[in-house]
Structures are given as C-alpha cells and as structure tokens.
Amino acid sequence: MGLTKSFHFNEEQNQLAVYAKAFAHPARIAIIQQIIKNKTCIVGTLSDALPLSQSTISQHLKELKNIGIIKGEIEGPSICYCINEENWNNARNMLYRFFSDIDRNCC
C-alpha cells in the first residue's frame, strides 16, 4: 500500500496489513517455520534447509526484520535470527481479533 493512502486507515489496520505482508510469501512462511523449529537460525543453515539461494533468503530475512517479526544478532561472521516474541504476539492477537470479528458478524 502506498504511503499516501495509509493515513485513511487507523493504526491497527495499517499494522495488520504490515503483518499480513510478512506472511504473504511462502518463502517467508518456510523461513519463519525453520526459525521456530530450531528456536534460532543462522542464515547459512536456512540455505541448507530451504530450496532458495542465500541471497534470496537474506532478502526475505531483511523484510521480516524490517516488519519486526524477527530480530537478529551478529555472532562473529554470522547473523543469528530468532522470533521477536513481542511483535509475534502482537501479530497473533491482531489476526485473532480480525478473524474472530468476522466469525461473529458473518451473515
């Protein structure tokens, strides 16, 4: 969504759209699943586990980090990523409310 239109929507709608974008690509879902499965990851281990090049994985990691779903720390020559639990819980709660509201108000 262009920045010029986001002001028409409230903060929660904009944030929910940002989180939804993080989950909108199957590679990002696979990356998040690997991080959850391993409780942490180093970029090199993702390229061993997924059918993606390291540069593609790095681009997706950058997007996930910018959105705030993951966080990373430099450990020597590598970057170690893990789930940003605060933002993860926020995304989960927002998505839960969104889907719950639709279920209750459906015709």
CB 47 within 8 A of CB 54: yes
Q: What confidence tens digit (pLDDT) does each residue in 61-71 have?
A: 999 999 999 99
Where does the pLDDT of residue 3 fall: very low under 50, low under 70, confident under 90, or very high at 90 and above? low
Does 3.30.300.30 match the CATH number of domain 10-105? no
Is the whole-model pTM more than 0.85?
no
Give residue for tokens 């990356």.
Answer: 31
Check residue 101 and give its pLDDT: 75
Check residue 107 and give its pLDDT: 62
* Spatial distance between the Cα atoms of 7 and 73, rounded to a whole number of angstroms: 33
Calculate mean pLDDT across residues 14-33. Answer: 92
* Domain ranges, ordered by start, for the chain: 10-105
